[in-house]
Amino acid sequence: MQLIDRVMALGAAVRYVALAHGADIITRLRPDLRAGDGITSSGETDRYEELLVNPAILLLTTRRGEIDCGGLDHIIIGYGNFHQLIVPVDDGHLSVAIERNADPRAFIAPIHRLIAEYGASALGAESEFRLSA
């Protein structure tokens, strides 16, 4: 089972998972959701979020964290329809959209365990649903 599938399996509150590694993005949307339905972001805006927004946020917060905060572990963004949990990984990030009524902090430790289990070298090996930049 791929890392992205394991993250999706963490619970029904997980709406969407993206793994960005270098210029490649792998995405998965929970099967009962439809992109652009008014509650779920469109696939196109998700793509730009993973290519532009999340890397920029990670760059700024990582640099700040490295000054005197002990680094960066994760970021949580509270959008109107969902929470977005962003975890930096080697040469990219893992992005998880979580239902608004769920606590995104509950997913941090399980996601870190999965990333450690798969290892940095395996992160780029996932090929299904790959989108090039």
Task: Supply the CATH number for residue 99's domain.
Answer: 3.30.450.30
**Helical H segments across 29-75, by residue range:** 43-48, 54-68
Mean pLDDT of the chain: 85
Answer yes or no: is pLDDT of 21 > 60.
yes
- Residue 120 pLDDT greater than 70, yes or no: no
How many structural domains does the chain have? Answer: 1
Helices within the chain (DSSP H only): 3-8, 43-48, 54-68, 108-118, 120-123
> Where does residue 122 fall: left (phi above 0), alpha (psi -120 to 50 degrees), or beta otherwise?
alpha
Measure the N-to-C terminal CA separation of the chain; round to a whole number of Å: 25
Specify the pTM: 0.84
Of residues 63 and 49, the one with the higher pLDDT is 63
Rounded to an integer, what distance in angstroms lies between the CA atom of residue 2 and that of residue 45?
24
Range of the domain at 92: 3-132
